[in-house]
Amino acid sequence: MPSMSDNLVTGSTPETATSANPVPTTRARARREKKDTGKKRMLLLSTISVVAGIGIWWLLSVSGFRLPTPVEVVVRAGELAADGTLGSDIVASLTRVLIGFALGTAVAIPVGFLMGWYAWARGLIEPWIQFFRTIPPLAIIPLAIVLLGIGEEPKILVIFLAAFFSCVISTFQGVVNVDRTLINAARVLGSNDAGIFVRVVVPASVPFILVGMRVGLGAAWATLVAAELIAAQAGLGYRMQQAQLYYDLPTIFVGLIVIGVLGLVMDRLLLLAEKKLTKWQERR
């Protein structure tokens, strides 16, 4: 047990000697405050950007450009929502995008892992991936109609291809870019190929996979309007195409804004998942 003289020499009391060091706590608090300040600043900048964008749009619409004003778009959106048209279009388009994106991602991830982990698989699959990746998914529409008819299948196929090619390349790059030092260290510690793949390769590839999913999601939404050219009876893209025939600009803007908002919300959800799954990464 330390004596009183020991405490006098060290300049501490029994209570402070046993208490936790306050420096890490202070540093952690400072980091949290800095992070909170950064979030508030980003939120403020985003708000300013949105308000400025709407203001520029309004100025252009009243300056002679053939653009509907924000008020006209809001009124038209209310009319479409009131008669149920907007709701049914959102459900139809969102269903197509979710199914195509989910299927594309589910196939792309194992194919990307296979290509990145096994050289023989890379040699067999990569030429076909690179070949078909250069063909726009929209160019597949005529073939899809001939093979699958005019139901939901060709629409989902086109969206599937857009999401698949974006995600498979990112997953493949994630596997081949794994630090060899980590793999060699795992081998030295006695891990076999299966253990290295599960404990080293998969976690290191997660950031690449999630980036590929975000790019694939954007590609899926970008392909939606063209996919709904295939004899659709409902959907945001279909509604925009019908509005084009009658020069109904407010309806076109409603479709554009809704697609943008839905895509943004889904992207934010993927970004949130990325932050949760990659907490071990250093971030700026």
Helix (H, G, I), strand (E, B) or coil at 228: coil
pLDDT of 57:
83
**Helix 119-133 × helix 152-176 angle, to 10°:** 130
Contact 110, 276 (CB under 8 A): no
Q: What integer pLDDT is reported at residue 10 of this predicted model? A: 43
pLDDT at res. 108: 92
215 or 32, higher pLDDT: 215
pLDDT of 257 > 60? The answer is yes
Q: How far is CA 138 from CA 45, 102, 219, in A?
A: 36, 19, 11
| Distance (Å) of CA 269 to CA 30, 171, 213, 229, 275 | 28, 19, 11, 28, 10
Distance of CA 252 to the CA centre of its chain: 25
User: Is residue 176 a contact partner of residue 237, using CB atoms and an 8 Å limit?
Assistant: no
CB burial of residue 90 (10 Å; 0-12, 13-18, 19+)? buried
Which pair of tokens denotes residue 114? 């296979």
- pLDDT tens digits, 46-92: 888 888 888 888 888 888 778 888 888 899 999 999 988 899 999 99
Q: Do residues 82 and 141 make contact, with C-beta atoms less than 8 angstroms apart?
A: no
User: Look-up: residue for tokens 């306050």?
Assistant: 22
Mean pLDDT of all residues in 230-248: 84
pLDDT at 5: 44
Average pLDDT, the chain: 81
pLDDT at 106 over 90: yes
pLDDT digits (tens, 9 = 90+) for 162-197: 899 888 988 888 888 877 787 778 777 777 777 777
Greatest pairwise CA separation for the chain in angstroms: 93
CATH architecture of 68-277: Orthogonal Bundle (1.10)
Q: Side chain identity at 54, as an amino acid letter?
A: I
Whether 272 shows a pLDDT value over 60: the answer reads yes
pLDDT value, residue 75: 92
Q: Is the pLDDT of residue 17 over 60?
A: no
The residue extents of the domains of the chain are: 4-58, 68-277
Q: What torsion do the CA atoms of 170, 175, 179, 185 make, to the nearest 10 degrees?
A: 160
The pLDDT of residue 273 is above 50: yes
Give the residue from 105, 220, 222, 118 showing the smallest Cα distance to 169: 105
Residue 224 · residue 259 · CB < 8 Å: yes
Mean pLDDT lowest among 11-20, 55-64, 168-177, 274-283: 11-20
C-alpha distance from residue 95 to each of 70, 257, 273 (Å): 28, 18, 21
Query: pLDDT (tens digit, 9 = 90+) per residue, 141-152?
Result: 888 888 887 788
Report the range of poorest mean pLDDT among 25-39, 156-170, 196-210: 25-39
- The one-letter code for the residue type at 239 is R
